[in-house]
Amino acid sequence: MIRITIGREGFRKKMKGLVKKTKRPRAMMAAVGREGANQLRKHFRQKDRDEPNRLGGEREHFWLKVMRSVQAPILSDAGTKVTISITHPVYGHKFRGGIISAKRVKNLSIPQTPEAYGRAPAVFEQETGHKLIFIRQGPVALLARRVTLGPFLQVEYVLRPFVRQERDPTAFPDETKFEEALLTRAAISMAATLKREGGEG
């Protein structure tokens, strides 16, 4: 799970100003929270549409899974802050980058072909009927299969104890647009409150 604090100085000042102007900050911040969650889901859905698998093959729809992990907003006790959690276990690495280490097994199996993508080696063998052969070339360990024609091998997986995940600069929506959407929703909510009450927010 990862929590990202949105709060550049200009944004904070504008949001605090809107909070002070309304008598119902909880209602306004609840609306802001829903808008933030919707903006995140929209962004992740679009990334799923725009980014095919690097290796091809059957898609795992990683970004759709991230989208589904966006939780309902939670308001602070005072009703002036909102938290939206993204609970997908891999999202933090996409957002920040970092090391992914093998935990329950000795090595991570890094797929090298469309057929291997999305399949653990044991599942690959079961579903394709190909027997994988372990090969070590110096510090590099591989899992390969024999190609039907000739004595050649097709590398399906590279085995590594860890990999370094590069940060994805588009893992989070454009911050300026995201903040603008939240401020717009706050202003709309406040205006609706003023209209209902016929006076000061």
pLDDT digits (tens, 9 = 90+) for 106-119: 888 999 998 888 88
Q: For residue 36, give the nearest of 187, 174, 178 by alpha carbon.
A: 178
User: Between 178 and 147, whose confidence is greater?
Assistant: 178
Backbone φ/ψ region at 61: left (φ over 0), alpha (ψ -120 to 50), beta: left
Q: Alpha-carbon distance 29 to 103, whole Å?
A: 40
Is there a contact between 37 and 43 (Cβ–Cβ < 8 Å)? no
Model pLDDT, residue 42: 98
Mean pLDDT, to the nearest integer, of 32-54?
92
Instruction: Extract the tokens encoding 189.
Output: 């909510």
**Rounded to two decimals, what is the model's pTM?**
0.77
Model pLDDT, residue 72: 95
Q: Alpha-carbon distance 115 to 119, whole Å?
A: 8
Model pLDDT, residue 20: 87
**Tell me: the pLDDT tens digits for 161-195?**
888 888 999 999 999 999 999 999 999 998 887 77
**Tell me: the pLDDT tens digits for 55-80?**
666 678 899 999 999 999 999 988 88
Residue 104 pLDDT grade (very low, low, confident, very high; cuts 50, 70, 90): confident
Burial, 97: exposed, middle or buried (Cβ in 10 Å; 0-12, 13-18, 19+)? middle
